[in-house]
Structure 1
Amino acid sequence: MKILVINGVNMNFLGIRNKEVYGNKDYNYLLKMIEEKAKELKVEVECFQSNHEGAIVDKLQEAYFEDVAGIVINPAAFTHTSVAIRDALESLGCIKVEVHISNISDREDFRHKSLTQPVCNGQIAGLGLDGYTLAMEYIVKNVTGR
């Protein structure tokens, strides 16, 4: 079973940008955390990050043709602006979980609306980096029943 983890714009700047909101852990720490959870769950994981909307759409479209059981996606700022990413997500039949490190509902008004969440199975927000591993557990449980 394969899980695809997609991170959007500025996520490669974890630990650098807005530490008071996103914490001190860097992007490599997040990747290691995800890889460790994948080993624990006995699943294959692929992580992808881009600051470019079209590259994320391309990766989502590739997932359509691969045997991807689920997608964990943190579109970051694209959450609030990208109809293109939303439409690509909507095209996929696998389980999709939107993740946000911060609680987007407790932030600036423009961050309250997610264009991508309505085409996902669920959203985890405000639980820090743990949201990624919780989303992975959800996918495995709902695909395998374990």
Structure 2
Amino acid sequence: MTRILVLHGINLDMFGKRDPATYGSATLAEIDERLRALGRELDVDVTCFHSNIEGVLCERIHQAFRDAVDAVVINAGAWTHYSIGIRDALAILKAPVVEVHMSNVHAREEFRHRSVFAEIVRGQICGFGIDSYLLGLRAAASAARQA
């Protein structure tokens, strides 16, 4: 069975509480459940992981490498724009990586327009709320099957 790891970064545990006009009202737990449900439909095993600690997220990416996961979906939150440590950890992976964001980062503050992951990910999906995650999971599953 295809194994996909979904990574949630800094502050994303505040979905449902933080700025609902930008991020919607769904909680991280609800997003994870929707991802697992779609995973069952796609016949992929979805594991979700969140951390507000950058090094912990890097360690989980290292574990994904050791486990040879088939694909990764990541919303690193604000780390997307400056974390070279997470970028370098993702670059170790042999599996395709799909970057997702609930909001349209290109329509927001200038600093959010740049992703330090852009050069190493398979693709980016943003601006569709929860559907960004679900589209990202579909893209990751497809990429994993083509690899």
Normalised TM-score (structure 2): 0.95
Alpha-carbon distance in structure 1 between the residues aligned to 2:13 and 2:52: 8
What are the Cα deviations for residues 3-61 of structure 1, in whole angstroms up to 9, with x where unaligned? 00000001100010011100011111101101100110111111000001001100001
Task: Structure 2: give runs of 5+ residues left out of the alignment.
Answer: none
Amino acid at match of 2:118: Q
The aligned counterpart of 1:88 is: 89
The aligned counterpart of 1:69 is: 70
Alpha-carbon distance in structure 2 between the residues aligned to 1:17 and 1:70: 28
What's the CA shift for 1:144? 2.5
Identity %: 37
What's the CA shift for 1:142? 2.5
Normalised TM-score (structure 1): 0.96
What are the Cα deviations for residues 103-140 of structure 1, in whole angstroms up to 9, with x where unaligned? 10100111111111211010001111111111111122
Alpha-carbon distance in structure 1 between the residues aligned to 2:47 and 2:140: 14
Alpha-carbon distance in structure 1 between the residues aligned to 2:65 and 2:48: 16
Amino acid at match of 1:110: F
Q: 1:49-128 alignment to 2 at 5 Å?
A: 49-128=50-129
Q: Which runs of 4+ in 1 moved over 3 A?
A: none
